[in-house]
């Protein structure tokens, strides 16, 4: 079983075993809880107590550690000037911001001298005399919140108190109050929700568990109260936990086993069946995971956040972002598997249909069916893209960011996956249609294109008829088909490959992603515009709707809450002036409105109608008066509303009032409850409660409201409209024709185009509401296209990077071509300024808006400060005259709420209820104290967060007769929306255009890289040709630059090389012929001399009539014939060297050749021939006679070198793709100087022979594609090594 | 002959194509804006109440069983959702169903019923407590569901669990 099957199966078995254990443990736990609940309950209680106490202890230790850090910062305790103290305050503020705590440094009298964060106590215990470190923990309840503090006293004369929010007494929305860490930590660890009680005589009950929270000294500081677990609940919880674990493990097992089974079964089956099995396995696992809610059930964060993206389509295919990604990956994988199948069988099957007319008819039907399926898939893709936008809250189009944020990038990546998968489907379908068009007679590309287009058009028409509101523009199927056909016909043609080692695999991926992007972008845009319109329509309906049922419900619930307080077991009377200062706050804190986070207020009146107490957060005084006035004009317990247009929004305030009576019917008082849809806790520019969901337009999107009555403008926030302008006739006609619908119109304003929705109020035919948004032009679309493209490009880079990493891990050496390096350099240089620009754009906008806020705050502070200074005469006046009532009056006068501090403490404010409720700290911020009070800076600004709303707060000293009497502060909503709007505008204007420049630069870079790379590639190929001996390089580059010079020089070099080689060859030939001639002359002279001498001797003998002239004749004849024979042999050898006969190459076993060569010398005495051949045959492609000649020559030389006998050893071996023959002897060896020349023609150390035998041998071996070499050392014998290619490897 | 047939086919196909494109909506017109003040007087009051009650029954059954399927078809195209532990906002029907599904994933409902149904207003609503088990601990929350008339049907326009 291969490893790819074995290991997953093993892991699956382990998981099954774990599942079994989990199941058994779960059953045991459940049974135990059922049968032995008291013991189980006691264990659970003990575990909960341990966990809660440990968490509390860790809170204490954390605070203690922070106190240690502060104590170690010695500079804090130096008695420096104002500047030193300011830097100390700043250091503490930074520490506080990082750690989320409050810090007080108190002196020996118990007063804070340095602080950061909100005050927990205004005065602490005086420091005890004496030395040593003393640590103490305590709990303080301040308004709605409870704080845990750790105080560390040392011998430095100061103590450090570090505090953290422990609990909020009521579950008030985090818009108003920061969440406390301790209850959340307990819930995360134990699942229990705990409350806090400060004394031991708190809530008692059998169903409650009271856990003491211990201090360092073992003293109980407070008690955490948790509901005691119930038996049935615990059993259900055990079952739930077991089920969750089993689901997750089951999902893992299913995936692993499916993988193993599919891989194992697929071995040895046809490719088509393998693909089907693989796809079945993928989708079986996917559907099972959906059923088991894996992995969404165990994941957190953006991946499992259904409010980021969620669709119930397909039973959960995309219920969360992680499900969407998994489904998209499964779809893409399936498409890639399908893509491995060939179209050839289909084409072959079609070609077999006879006669031709029927084949064409079948092809035509296939064409139409394919087109119908294709158009259906285009529709499906449009629906998927629509889901990406409408079922998501991701800010795809957010122009405030150049790159999308993580959650948006996640969804865009999922979109890229799905788009790639759908593109694959389009590719396959269009390929089918193309084949069918070809078979139906459309041989030329244009004819096939026409037939494909017509069939798509027919299918499109059929589908459009059946749909009331089509999902996509009519041209989309043609556009998609066009891209696919271009991909098939032009882009996918194979290109000439480059050298091995260069990565070619990324190119198809890039083309695929690019095509998927081109298909996605237009449809994506159409949906973006559609979503925007839907958001505006929803907003219009919101504006026109009556008192919302939910808000009315909240108000009536508030009345019920107050009734519950009055008639509750504690019998509180909130209308009693004695308890008044906090009764409105307490009532508000218990109401649903506070939990839901609405700006709201509670007003309590006694039985005579006098206001006893009020608590209001986030509603301006003007609106409070207006709604209260309206309320009391109507009967009790009826919801009333007022509306006010505020720039881009309509602010609605709802209210209700009711009387409260005792159980005996006595009138106790009245209560009025109001709430608004504004967001600011502090007054400022209110805005409608922004919906994070898909119904909300982002802040940077300019929105304008205009109201028409009797076709004339009565109110507008659009800058180019004013009261009295008449409604356009085309708008009136459209509204008259279809009054129940909204109508969109594109309008050209004075400075910009608008898209305006006109809606007639269903309850009032004379009232028309117009909602206008700025029409987006090409810059915005270009910017968003760039963002979409950046995600696709990032995915492509990740795939390329992963591929390279894979190659490197497998030891492949990866090189980049010059073109790739050039293009990469261009890309980096082009993109980097974009990123820098985006960063500085935000920084510049933030600075600008902060400047603007600073100017606004400074102006408002100056006005208030002057008013105060005008009102008071001296410092005493300031202390006693500046009261809450005074502040309210001034606030109403100038429309600005403010707060006045004396020293570091609150003196008076126009919003006392907020400070009484401890929503705001009554102590002046530390750094503000340092700069405004100690240093006396004319103006100081900082940012603060109340709840989760950021504010900019300005501070200005109040100088009375030259003395700093106090500090006045004003808050304003941090104008983040202004920053976003400015960043958006600048990003689109600058960055959008720059992005086009970047694309042009990248395109130019790519072209330049290609232009540079091509001539270099040609030069490289030409160099190879020159090395092979082709001195006429084909280089097409004709440029007149450095490259052109290089090409010219290369050509010149090749030409020079060619001439030199010819000269050399000529000189070689001449030298060779001279040598040959010299050798011939020398060789011929040798036999001629004895011939001459013999003939002379014979002539003399006959002239002298010698008696032995017959004998002399015989001797001379013999000598002459011998020399003639020698001359013949010389001529034959020269002939062989000069003209080698044509080789007759055949497949021969080298061992046979060697045996035959050795057989020639089998009779030689004194020489032993040994064989050490490799196993089996070694087949080579050689000429039999020539190769035998080579072996004979070498063996003869070896024998001749051993006149007294020796051993000749012949070995063969296979090395790589060749064979090696080694013929060695035990002769005297060859000196190095001689060895270097033994293969030269006419070189010989022997007295006989021409010395061309080894030259011939080398020529024969080299012609056979091999090489011959000689190894020898004097005294060690000689070895000749012949390497020949084995048959089959050489061509 | 073949050429003539092809030309006629091309003309026919083009006509079909053009008529298909002509069926698309004219520019500037959109679907019906949710008209919340339009009380449907066409239906009889008893039928109206019956339809509202039936919808609330479906919601009750669906929430008791901890499933979204029984009520997902009754969600309005855009729903205001405010569920404890989830991000409040206005979501599409699909997304609202997914969010509610996530709520059920973490909790097993054990009891739910509407204790108050107000069907006389133009925006009927119902409230009731829901008990569920989460990590072995019982939790109780209040459910608020309000309806809006969209077209000829009542749909769930707001769903709060707090």
Whichever domain contains B121, its CATH number is: 3.10.450.50
Q: Is the pLDDT of residue A1233 over 70?
A: yes
Instruction: Kindly state the average pLDDT of the residues A166-173.
Output: 80
Point out the least confidently predicted range of A127-136, A434-443, A567-576, A767-776: A127-136
> Which chain B residue lies closest to A554 (C-alpha atoms)?
B144
Listed by number, the residues of chain A in 205-234 with a beta carbon closer than 8 Å to a beta carbon of chain B are 227, 229-230, 233-234
Distance from the B91 Cα atom to the nearest Cα atom in chain A, whole angstroms: 5
Give the C-alpha separation, A485 to B11, whole Å: 24
Max CA-CA distance within chain B? 82
- Which residue in B19, B29, B35, B115 has the most chain A C-beta atoms within 10 A of its own C-beta, making it the best mutation to test that interface? B35
- What would the two tokens of residue A520 be? 């996605």
Point out the least confidently predicted range of A273-287, A587-601, A1132-1146: A1132-1146
Query: Would you state the pLDDT for residue A92?
Result: 87
Point out the least confidently predicted range of A219-233, A483-497, A660-674, A789-803: A483-497
**CATH 3.30.450.20 corresponds to the domain A816-1029:** yes
Q: Are A1048 and A1037 in contact (CB under 8 A)?
A: no
Instruction: Kindly state the average pLDDT of the residues B124-141.
Output: 90
Q: Give the pLDDT band of residue A907 (cuts 50, 70, 90).
A: very high
**CATH 3.30.450 corresponds to the domain A547-689:** yes
Tell me whether B9 touches chain A (CB under 8 Å): yes
- What would the two tokens of residue A703 be? 């929105």
Residue A4's CB is within 10 A of a number of other CB atoms, namely 12
DSSP string, A24-73: HHHHHHHHHHHH-HHHHHHHHHHHHHHHHHHHHHHHHHHHHHHHHHHHT-
Query: Would you state the pLDDT for residue B63?
Result: 93
Distance from the B133 Cα atom to the nearest Cα atom in chain A, whole angstroms: 6
pTM for the model: 0.72
End-to-end Cα separation, chain B, in angstroms: 76
Listed by number, the residues of chain B in 58-97 with a beta carbon closer than 8 Å to a beta carbon of chain A are 68, 72, 78, 80-82, 86-92, 94-95, 97
Question: What is this model's ipTM?
Answer: 0.75
Q: Is residue B51 part of a domain?
A: yes
Residue A1250's CB is within 10 A of a number of other CB atoms, namely 23
Range of the domain at B129: 44-161
Q: What are phi and psi of B134, to 5 degrees?
A: -135, 120
Q: Give the pLDDT band of residue B37 (cuts 50, 70, 90).
A: very low
Q: Is residue B152 part of a domain?
A: yes
Query: Would you state the pLDDT for residue A24?
Result: 95
Q: Which residues of A touch B101 (CB under 8 A)?
A: 306, 310, 312, 316, 319
Query: Would you state the pLDDT for residue A992?
Result: 66
Q: Is the pLDDT of residue A230 over 60?
A: yes
End-to-end Cα separation, chain A, in angstroms: 39
Query: Would you state the pLDDT for residue A28?
Result: 94
Tell me whether B111 touches chain A (CB under 8 Å): no
Query: Would you state the pLDDT for residue B113?
Result: 92
State what percent of residues in chain A have pLDDT above 70.
88
The answer to whether B9 contacts A454, with C-beta atoms less than 8 Å apart, is yes
Question: Which of left, alpha, beta for A1248 (phi over 0: left; psi -120 to 50: alpha)?
Answer: beta
Q: Is residue B12 part of a domain?
A: no
Q: Is residue B54 part of a domain?
A: yes
Q: Which residues are within 8 A (CB) of A474 and not within 5 positions of it... i.e. 6 or more apart? A: A460, A464, B20, B21, B24
The answer to whether A743 contacts B36, with C-beta atoms less than 8 Å apart, is no
Give the pLDDT confidence of A1027-1041 residue by residue, as tens digits: 777 777 778 877 788
Q: Is the pLDDT of residue A178 over 80?
A: no
Instruction: Kindly state the average pLDDT of the residues A1057-1075.
Output: 78
Angle between helices A976-986 and A818-871 (to 10 degrees): 140
Give the pLDDT confidence of A105-135 residue by residue, as tens digits: 888 787 888 898 888 877 676 655 555 678 8
Q: Which residues of A touch B90 (CB under 8 A)?
A: 538, 691, 693-696
Q: Give the pLDDT band of residue A506 (cuts 50, 70, 90).
A: low
What own/partner pairs with CB < 8 Å and gap ≥ 24 does A345-351 have? Answer: A346/A432, A346/A435, A347/A435, A347/A439, A350/A435, A350/A436, A350/A439, A351/A439
Q: Are A671 and A590 in contact (CB under 8 A)?
A: no
Mean pLDDT of chain A: 82
Q: Is residue B11 part of a domain?
A: no
Q: Of A535-549, A720-734, A1012-1026, give the range with the top mean pLDDT.
A: A720-734
Distance from the B138 Cα atom to the nearest Cα atom in chain A, whole angstroms: 6
Q: Which residues of B touch A548 (CB under 8 A)?
A: 123
Topology at the third CATH level for domain A1142-1285? Heat Shock Protein 90 (3.30.565)
Query: Would you state the pLDDT for residue A249?
Result: 92
CA-based nearest residue to A937, from A78, A83, A87? A83
Query: Would you state the pLDDT for residue A961?
Result: 86
Point out the least confidently predicted range of A412-426, A634-648, A1084-1098, A1105-1119: A634-648
Q: Are A217 and A75 in contact (CB under 8 A)?
A: no
Q: Is residue B32 part of a domain?
A: no
Query: Would you state the pLDDT for residue A694?
Result: 40
Q: Of A260-269, A492-501, A1197-1206, give the range with the top mean pLDDT.
A: A1197-1206
Query: Would you state the pLDDT for residue A500?
Result: 34
Q: What are phi and psi of A1072, to 5 degrees?
A: -60, -45
Q: Is the pLDDT of residue A1150 over 80?
A: yes
Q: Is the pLDDT of residue A159 over 50?
A: yes
Query: Would you state the pLDDT for residue A682?
Result: 44
Point out the least confidently predicted range of A385-399, A971-985, A1006-1020, B28-42: B28-42
Q: Is the pLDDT of residue A253 over 90?
A: yes
Q: Is residue B9 part of a domain?
A: no
Q: Is the pLDDT of residue A732 over 50?
A: yes
Q: On the CB side of B100, how many CA atoms lie within 13 Å of its CA?
A: 31
The answer to whether A393 contacts B89, with C-beta atoms less than 8 Å apart, is yes
Q: Is the pLDDT of residue A1003 over 70?
A: yes
Q: Is the pLDDT of residue B16 over 60?
A: no
The alpha carbon dihedral of A573, A578, A580, A582 has a sign of: negative
Whole-angstrom CA distances from A152 to A60, A69, A160, A1069 are: 12, 11, 5, 105
Number of domains in chain B: 1
Max CA-CA distance within chain A? 186
Query: Would you state the pLDDT for residue A464?
Result: 72
Q: Is the pLDDT of residue A286 over 90?
A: yes
Point out the least confidently predicted range of A973-982, A995-1004, B50-59: A973-982
Q: Is residue B24 part of a domain?
A: no
Q: Give the pLDDT band of residue A1284 (cuts 50, 70, 90).
A: very high
Query: Would you state the pLDDT for residue B44?
Result: 54
Instruction: Kindly state the average pLDDT of the residues A702-710.
Output: 85
Point out the least confidently predicted range of A335-339, A589-593, A745-749: A335-339
Query: Would you state the pLDDT for residue A60?
Result: 93
3-class state of residue A719 by DSSP: coil
Q: Which residues of B touch A550 (CB under 8 A)?
A: 80, 125, 144, 146, 158, 160
- What would the two tokens of residue A1101 be? 């003998």
Q: Is the pLDDT of residue B62 over 90?
A: yes
Query: Would you state the pLDDT for residue A498?
Result: 35
Compute the count of residue pairs across chains A and B with CB atoms less than 8 Å apart: 225
Bridge partners of A754, per DSSP, are: A747, A774
Tell me whether B39 touches chain A (CB under 8 Å): no
Instruction: Kindly state the average pLDDT of the residues A737-746.
Output: 83
Query: Would you state the pLDDT for residue A678?
Result: 62
């Amino acid at each position: 079983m291969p490893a790819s099957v074995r290991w997953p199966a093993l892991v699956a078995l382990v998981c099954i075993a774990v599942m079994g254990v989990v199941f058994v443990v779960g059953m045991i736990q459940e049974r135990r809880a059922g049968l032995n609940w008291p013991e189980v309950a006691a264990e659970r209680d003990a575990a909960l107590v341990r966990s809660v106490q440990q968490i509390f202890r860790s809170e204490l230790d954390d605070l203690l550690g922070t106190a240690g850090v502060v104590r170690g910062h010695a500079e804090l305790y130096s008695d420096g000037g104002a500047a030193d103290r300011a830097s100390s305050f700043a250091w503490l503020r930074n520490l506080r911001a990082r750690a989320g705590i409050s810090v007080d440094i108190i002196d020996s009298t118990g007063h804070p001298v340095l602080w950061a964060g909100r005050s927990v106590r205004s005065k602490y215990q005086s420091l005890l005399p004496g030395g040593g470190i003393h640590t103490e923990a305590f709990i303080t309840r301040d308004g709605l919140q409870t704080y845990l503090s750790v105080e560390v006293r040392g011998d430095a004369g100061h103590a450090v108190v570090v505090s953290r929010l422990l609990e909020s007494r009521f579950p008030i929305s985090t818009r108003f109050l920061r969440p406390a860490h301790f209850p959340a930590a307990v819930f995360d660890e134990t699942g229990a929700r705990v409350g806090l009680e400060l004394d031991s005589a708190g809530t008692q009950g059998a169903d409650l568990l009271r856990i003491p929270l211990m201090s360092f000294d073992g003293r109980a500081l407070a008690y955490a109260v948790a509901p005691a677990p119930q038996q049935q609940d615990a059993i259900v919880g055990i079952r739930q936990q077991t089920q969750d674990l089993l689901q997750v493990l089951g999902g893992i097992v299913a995936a692993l086993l499916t993988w193993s089974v599919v891989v194992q079964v697929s071995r040895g089956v046809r490719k088509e069946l393998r693909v089907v099995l693989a796809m079945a396995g993928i989708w079986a696992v996917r559907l099972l995971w959906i059923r088991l809610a894996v992995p969404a059930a165990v994941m957190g964060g953006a991946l499992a956040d259904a409010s980021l993206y969620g669709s119930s389509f397909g039973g959960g295919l995309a219920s969360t972002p992680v499900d969407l990604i998994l489904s998209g990956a499964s779809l893409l994988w399936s498409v890639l598997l399908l893509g491995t199948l060939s179209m050839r069988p289909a084409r072959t099957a079609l070609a077999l249909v006879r006669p031709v007319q029927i084949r064409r008819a079948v092809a035509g039907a296939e064409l139409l069916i394919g087109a119908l399926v294709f158009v259906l898939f285009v529709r499906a893709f449009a629906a998927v893209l629509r889901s990406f936008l409408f079922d998501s809250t991701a800010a795809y189009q957010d122009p405030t960011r150049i790159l999308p944020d993580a959650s948006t990038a996640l969804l865009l990546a999922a979109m890229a996956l799905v788009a790639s998968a759908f593109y694959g489907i389009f590719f396959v379908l269009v390929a089918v249609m193309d084949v069918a068009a070809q078979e139906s007679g459309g041989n030329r590309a244009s004819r096939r294109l026409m037939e494909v287009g017509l069939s798509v058009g027919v299918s499109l028409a059929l589908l459009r008829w059946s749909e009331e509101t089509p999902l996509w523009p009519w041209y989309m199927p043609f556009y998609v088909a066009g891209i696919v056909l271009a991909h098939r016909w032009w882009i996918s043609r194979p290109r000439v490959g480059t050298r091995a080692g260069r990565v070619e695999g990324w190119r198809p991926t890039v083309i695929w992603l690019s095509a998927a992007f081109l298909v996605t972008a237009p449809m994506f845009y159409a949906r973006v515009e559609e979503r925007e319109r839907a958001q505006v329509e929803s907003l219009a309906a919101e504006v026109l709707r009556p008192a919302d049922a939910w808000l009315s419900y909240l108000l009536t619930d508030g009345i019920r809450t107050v009734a519950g307080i009055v008639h509750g077991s504690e019998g509180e009377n909130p209308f009693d002036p004695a308890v008044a200062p906090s009764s409105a706050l307490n009532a508000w804190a218990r109401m649903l409105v506070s939990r839901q986070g609405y700006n709201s207020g509670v007003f309590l009146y006694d039985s005579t109608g006098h206001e006893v107490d009020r608590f209001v957060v986030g509603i301006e005084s003007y609106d409070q008066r207006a709604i209260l006035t309206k309320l009391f004009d109507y009967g009790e317990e009826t919801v009333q509303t007022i509306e006010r247009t505020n720039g881009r929004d309509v602010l609605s305030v709802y209210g209700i009032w009711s009387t409260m009576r005792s159980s005996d019917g006595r009138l106790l008082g009245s209560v009025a409850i109001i709430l608004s849809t504004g967001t600011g806790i502090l007054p400022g520019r209110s805005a409608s409660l922004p919906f994070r969901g898909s119904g909300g337009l982002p802040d940077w999107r300019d929105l304008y409201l205009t109201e028409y009555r009797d076709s004339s403008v009565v109110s507008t926030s659009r800058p180019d409209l004013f009261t009295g302008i008449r409604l356009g006739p085309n708008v009136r006609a459209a509204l008259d024709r279809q009054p129940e619908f909204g109508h969109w119109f594109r309008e050209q304003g004075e400075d910009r185009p608008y898209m305006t929705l006109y809606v007639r109020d269903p309850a009032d035919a004379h009232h028309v509401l117009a909602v206008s948004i700025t029409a987006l032009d090409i810059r915005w679309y270009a910017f968003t296209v760039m963002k979409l493209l950046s995600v696709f490009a990032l995915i492509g880079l990740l795939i390329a990077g992963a591929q390279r990493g894979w190659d490197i891990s497998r030891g492949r050496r990866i090189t980049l071509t010059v073109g790739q390096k050039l293009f990469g350099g261009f890309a980096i240089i082009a993109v980097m300024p974009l990123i820098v620009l985006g960063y500085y754009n935000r920084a510049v906008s933030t600075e600008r808006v902060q400047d603007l806020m600073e100017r606004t705050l400074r102006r408002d502070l100056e006005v208030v400060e002057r008013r105060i200074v005008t009102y008071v005469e001296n410092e005493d006046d300031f202390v006693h005259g500046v009261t809450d009532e005074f502040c309210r009056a001034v606030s109403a006068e100038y429309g600005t709420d403010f707060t006045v501090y004396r020293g570091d403490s609150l003196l008076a404010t126009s919003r006392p209820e907020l400070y009484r409720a401890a929503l705001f700290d009554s102590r002046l911020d530390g750094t503000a104290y340092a700069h405004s009070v100690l240093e006396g800076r004319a103006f100081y600004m900082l940012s603060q967060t109340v709840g989760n709303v950021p504010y900019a707060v300005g501070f200005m000293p109040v100088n009375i007769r030259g003395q700093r009497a106090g500090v006045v502060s004003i808050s304003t909503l941090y104008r983040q929306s202004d920053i976003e709007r400015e960043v958006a505008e600048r990003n689109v204007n600058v960055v959008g255009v720059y992005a086009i420049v970047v694309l042009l630069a990248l395109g130019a870079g790519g072209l330049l890289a290609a232009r540079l790379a091509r001539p270099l590639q040609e030069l490289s190929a030409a160099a190879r040709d020159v090395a092979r001996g082709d001195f006429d390089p084909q280089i097409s580059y004709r440029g007149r630059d450095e490259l052109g010079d290089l090409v010219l020089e290369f050509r010149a070099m090749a030409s020079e090389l060619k001439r030199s080689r010819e000269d050399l060859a000529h000189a070689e030939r001449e030298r060779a012929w001279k040598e040959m001639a010299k050798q011939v002359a020398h060789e011929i002279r040798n036999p001629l001399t004895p011939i001459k001498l013999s003939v002379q001797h014979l002539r003399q003998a006959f002239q002298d009539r010698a008696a032995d002239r017959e004998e002399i004749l015989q001797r001379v004849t013999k000598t002459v014939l011998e020399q003639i024979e020698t001359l013949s042999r010389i001529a034959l050898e020269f002939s062989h060297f000069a003209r080698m006969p044509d080789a007759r190459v055949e497949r021969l076993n080298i061992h046979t050749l060697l045996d035959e060569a050795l057989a020639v010398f089998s009779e030689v005495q004194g020489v032993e021939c040994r064989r050490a051949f490799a196993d089996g045959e070694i087949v080579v492609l050689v000429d039999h006679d020539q190769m035998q000649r080579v072996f004979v020559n070498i063996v003869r030389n070896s024998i001749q070198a051993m006149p007294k006998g020796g051993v000749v050893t012949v070995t063969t071996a296979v090395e790589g793709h060749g064979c090696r023959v080694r013929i060695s002897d035990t002769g005297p060896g060859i000196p190095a100087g001689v060895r270097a020349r033994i293969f030269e023609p006419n070189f010989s150390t022997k007295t006989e022979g021409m010395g061309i035998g080894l030259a011939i041998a080398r020529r024969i071996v080299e012609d056979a594609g091999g090489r011959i070499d000689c190894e020898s050392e004097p005294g060690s014998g000689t070895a000749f090594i012949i390497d020949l290619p084995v048959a089959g490897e050489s061509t | 002959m073949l050429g003539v047939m092809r030309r006629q086919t091309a003309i026919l196909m083009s006509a079909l194509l053009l008529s298909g494109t002509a069926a698309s909506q004219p520019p500037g017109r959109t679907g019906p804006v949710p008209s919340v003040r339009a009380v449907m007087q066409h239906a009889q009051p008893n039928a109206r109440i019956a339809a509202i009650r039936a919808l609330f029954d479906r919601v009750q059954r669906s929430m008791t069983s901890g499933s979204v399927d029984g009520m997902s078809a009754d969600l309005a195209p855009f729903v205001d959702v405010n569920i404890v532990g989830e991000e409040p906002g206005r979501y599409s029907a699909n997304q609202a169903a997914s969010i509610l599904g996530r709520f059920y994933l973490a909790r097993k409902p054990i009891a739910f019923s509407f204790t108050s149904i107000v069907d006389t207003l133009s925006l009927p609503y119902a409230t009731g407590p829901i008990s569920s088990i989460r990590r072995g601990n019982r939790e109780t929350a209040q459910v608020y569901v309000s309806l809006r008339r969209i077209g000829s049907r009542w749909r769930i326009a707001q769903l709060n669990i707090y």
